[in-house]
Structure 1
Amino acid sequence: MEPVRNSFTVDLRRLGVLRELDRRGSLARTAEALHLTPSAVSQQLAALAREVGVPLIERQGRGVRLTGQARVLLEHAAALAAQWERARADLAAWEEGGRGTVTIGAFSSAITGLLPPALGLLTAHRPDVTVSVVEAEPPDLFTRLDGGDVDLAVAVDFAAAPPHTDRRYTRVDLLADVLDLALPASHPLADRARVPLRELAADPWIVGDARSCCGAITRSLCAANGFTPDIRHPVGDWASVAALVGAGLGVALVPRLVRPPQRPGLVLRAPVGRPPVRHVFAAVRAGSENDPVLAAVLTRLREAAAQVTAQTEDTENAGDTE
C-alpha cells in the first residue's frame, strides 16, 4: 500500500460502500443492501484504499473487518457528508424554498398514525411541496437515507436504528408511542384495568417479524418480564392483529399510533407498571436540516406528533376502548 499522499481524490460513493460495510458487518450483506455483487463491493473498497493509500479491510476468519485507518476515514467521511449536505441546503435556501420535493421513508405505524396529519398540515401551509412516502425500517431505511433514495426518515429507537451519537444524521425526537395489551374480550384478565405482562406468558402471542421495530420491542419486553412469548401467529399487519385477537386466537402489544377502532371481542388494557413505549424520531442527513423544504416537513411532523400525543392522552383519560 502506498503511503498517504499530501493530496488525493476520494470518490464519495466509495465512502458510502465503506459506511455500509461498517453497518452490515460482511461483504455479502453489504452487497445485498447496495444491490451489488460481493466482488463489486470488494473492488470498490480496493479502489478506495488505493485512493487514500491505506489498508481499509483485513481478513478475520472467513470474513473481513475494518482496519483502524478505515475507522479514522469514516469519522472524516461523516464530516464531509454533513458539509456537502449544508452546501445543498444553502443552495436550496438561495431560492427561498419556493418549490421542492421530498421523499419520506417511514415504518408502517407512522404511515398510518403520524404522516397523514403531518402531511395535511404541510399541504395547508406549503402546497408547493410534493411529497412521496415509502415504507421502510432500519437498517434498510438508513441505507436509503445515506444513498439519497429518501430525504427524511421516520423511525423507532431499537437495536437496528443508528445510535444518538451517529454524526451522519440530525435527528428530531417526535413522540413516545405507548403500547397497550390487546386481549380477547373472553380472556380471564380482560376485566382488569391493568394486566401483569408476566401473567400472559402461557398465552399464544401475535407478534411481527423480529427484525421489525414492534416485533423486536415486544420480544424485549417479554424477555424483561421473564418469558419468551409463544408466537403462534407471526403477523405484522395491525388490522390483521386486531382481527386475530378479536377472534380469541392470541394476545398482542399494540402501539397507540395504530390503536384499533372499536371491535367486538377485543379489549385494550395497560400493562402493570411503567407503560412500555417506543420512541419515534425523524432523521435527515447531517447538514441538510436547513434545507427549507426539509425544515418545513420537520416542523409539521413535530406539530402532528404533539397532536397525536394529546389525542392518545385524552383517550387514555376517557378510559379503555373495548
Structure 2
Amino acid sequence: MEPVSETFTVDLRRLAVLRELRRRGSLARTAEALHLTPSAVSQQLAALSRELGVPLTEREGRGVRLTGQARVLLDHADLIAAQLERARADLAAYGEGGRGQVTIGCFSSGILGLLPGALSSLAERLPHLRVDVVEAEPPDLFTALDAGRLDIAVAVDFAATPPHTDRRHHRVDLLTDVLDLAVPAGHRLAGQPRVELRELATDPWIIGDARSCCGAVARSVCAAAGFTPDIRHAVNDWAALAALVEAGRGVALIPRLVRPLYAHRDLALLTTEGTPPSRNVFAAVRAGSEADPVLAAVREELLSAAASPAASGTRATPRT
C-alpha cells in the first residue's frame, strides 16, 4: 500500500464499522449488528484501508483479525468519537436546553422499576423534551448507543456489557439491585430466616436465557455458590417466572426492582447467608456527551429515581 498521506482524511462511518468489528470479532456478527451484509462490511473496511494507505485486517482461518495498524487507529478513533460528542454537548449548552429528543435504551426490569419515576420527574423539569424508550440489552444496547440510535443506555453489569475501562462510554452507577430467592409457599425452606443458596442445588430452577442479563446473572450467582442449577424452565419474563414459582414449578432469583410484579403472589422470599446476590445497574452515554445539559438532566433524574422508595428495596449508589 502507499505511505500514509500527511493530509489524509477519515470517513467516520467507515471508522464506526471498524470499531464494531473490534467489538464483535467477526465480519458476520459485525454485519448483523450494523444491519449490513458481510460483503458491505468488507467493502467499507477495504475503502477505509485504501483511504489511509495501511492494512486494517488480515486473514485468520475463515475469518479476519485486526492488524497492528488497525489497533493504533482504533485508539485514536475512541478519542475522535469522544471529542465529537463534546462538540455536540457544547453546541447543546450554547442554545436553549430542554428541547429536542432523547432516546433511552434500557433492560426490561429497569423500564418497570426505574424509568417511570425518572420520566415523570423529567417531564415536569423539561416539558418540551420528547423522550423515547427502547427495550434493549447488551451487546445490542451498546451497538445502538455507539451508532447514535440511542442517547443513553441503562444496563446491568454482566459478561456482555462493556467493561468499566471502555473509553467509548461515560458511565455512572445507579443502584445495586438485590436478588431475593423465591420459592413456593409450601417449600421445605419457606419460613427460614436465612438459607445457604447451595441448599437449593438439587431443586428445579426457573432461569432466563443465558444471553440475557437476568439469565446470565442467575447462572453466575449459582456458580459462585458452587453448583450448576437444574434449569427446568427458561423464562425471561419476570411476571411469568413468579407465576411458575407460585405454581410450585421451581425456585428462582428475582430482583427487587420488579417487586410490583410478584408482591401479590403466594410465594416465599428468602434471604441468603452472607452478602445477598445482587446486580449493578448503571447508565452510560457516549464519552464526551456527558456535559450535554439534557443528558445531564436525564442522568440526575435516573439517580433520583434509583434513590427513591419506589425502587423497591434496592440499594442506591451513593452520590459523589
CA deviation after TM superposition for structure 1 residue 80, in Å? 0.5
Paired AA for residue 266 in structure 1:
L
CA deviation after TM superposition for structure 1 residue 308, in Å? 4.6
Preserved contact between residue 101 and residue 293 of structure 1 (Cα < 8 Å): no
Paired AA for residue 52 in structure 2:
V
Paired AA for residue 286 in structure 1:
A
Compared with structure 1, are the counterparts of its residues 51 and 308 closer, same or farther at alpha carbon in structure 2 (3 Å cutoff)? farther
Paired AA for residue 31 in structure 2:
A
Preserved contact between residue 113 and residue 311 of structure 2 (Cα < 8 Å): no
Compared with structure 1, are the counterparts of its residues 313 and 139 closer, same or farther at alpha carbon in structure 2 (3 Å cutoff)? closer
Residues of 2 paired with 1:297 and 1:264: CA distance? 33
Residues of 2 paired with 1:2 and 1:181: CA distance? 62
- 1:210 corresponds to 2:210: yes
CA deviation after TM superposition for structure 1 residue 198, in Å? 0.6
Paired AA for residue 295 in structure 1:
A
TM-score (norm 2): 0.95
CA deviation after TM superposition for structure 1 residue 262, in Å? 3.1
For 1:202, what is the secondary structure of its paired residue?
Answer: coil
Aligned position for 1:149: 149
- 1:286 corresponds to 2:274: no
Aligned position for 1:8: 8
Preserved contact between residue 246 and residue 263 of structure 1 (Cα < 8 Å): no
Residues of 1 paired with 2:265 and 2:7: CA distance? 70
Residues of 2 paired with 1:126 and 1:108: CA distance? 24
Give the alignment's Cα RMSD to 1 decimal. 1.4
Compared with structure 1, are the counterparts of its residues 271 and 100 closer, same or farther at alpha carbon in structure 2 (3 Å cutoff)? same
Preserved contact between residue 219 and residue 228 of structure 1 (Cα < 8 Å): yes
Preserved contact between residue 5 and residue 53 of structure 2 (Cα < 8 Å): yes
Preserved contact between residue 257 and residue 311 of structure 2 (Cα < 8 Å): no
Residues of 1 paired with 2:166 and 2:78: CA distance? 9
Preserved contact between residue 197 and residue 222 of structure 1 (Cα < 8 Å): yes
Aligned position for 2:247: 247
Residues of 2 paired with 1:127 and 1:219: CA distance? 42
Aligned position for 1:318: none
C-alpha deviations, 1:59-87, integer Å up to 9, x for none? 11221111111111111001100111111
Paired AA for residue 162 in structure 2:
P
Aligned position for 1:234: 234
Compared with structure 1, are the counterparts of its residues 39 and 7 closer, same or farther at alpha carbon in structure 2 (3 Å cutoff)? same
Aligned position for 1:269: 270
Residues of 1 paired with 2:221 and 2:251: CA distance? 14
4+ residue runs over 4 A deviation: 308-311
Unmatched tracts of structure 2, length 5 or more:
316-320
Aligned position for 2:318: none
CA deviation after TM superposition for structure 1 residue 311, in Å? 4.8
**Aligned pairs, number:** 314
Aligned position for 1:50: 50
Aligned position for 1:25: 25
Aligned position for 1:117: 117
Residues of 2 paired with 1:279 and 1:262: CA distance? 22
Residues of 2 paired with 1:163 and 1:217: CA distance? 16
Residues of 1 paired with 2:234 and 2:98: CA distance? 46
For 2:223, what is the secondary structure of its paired residue?
Answer: helix
Compared with structure 1, are the counterparts of its residues 313 and 35 closer, same or farther at alpha carbon in structure 2 (3 Å cutoff)? closer
For 1:195, what is the secondary structure of its paired residue?
Answer: coil
Preserved contact between residue 208 and residue 235 of structure 2 (Cα < 8 Å): yes
- 1:82 corresponds to 2:82: yes
CA deviation after TM superposition for structure 1 residue 4, in Å? 1.3
Unmatched tracts of structure 1, length 5 or more:
315-322
Aligned position for 2:162: 162
Preserved contact between residue 178 and residue 314 of structure 2 (Cα < 8 Å): no
Aligned position for 2:96: 96
C-alpha deviations, 1:176-211, integer Å up to 9, x for none? 111110110111011212221111111111111101
Paired AA for residue 283 in structure 2:
A
Preserved contact between residue 96 and residue 292 of structure 1 (Cα < 8 Å): no
Preserved contact between residue 20 and residue 30 of structure 2 (Cα < 8 Å): yes
Query: Which moved further from structure 2: 101-110 or 195-204?
Result: 195-204
Preserved contact between residue 201 and residue 229 of structure 2 (Cα < 8 Å): yes
Preserved contact between residue 175 and residue 309 of structure 1 (Cα < 8 Å): no
For 1:194, what is the secondary structure of its paired residue?
Answer: coil
C-alpha deviations, 1:37-76, integer Å up to 9, x for none? 1111001011111111111111112211111111111110
Paired AA for residue 145 in structure 1:
L
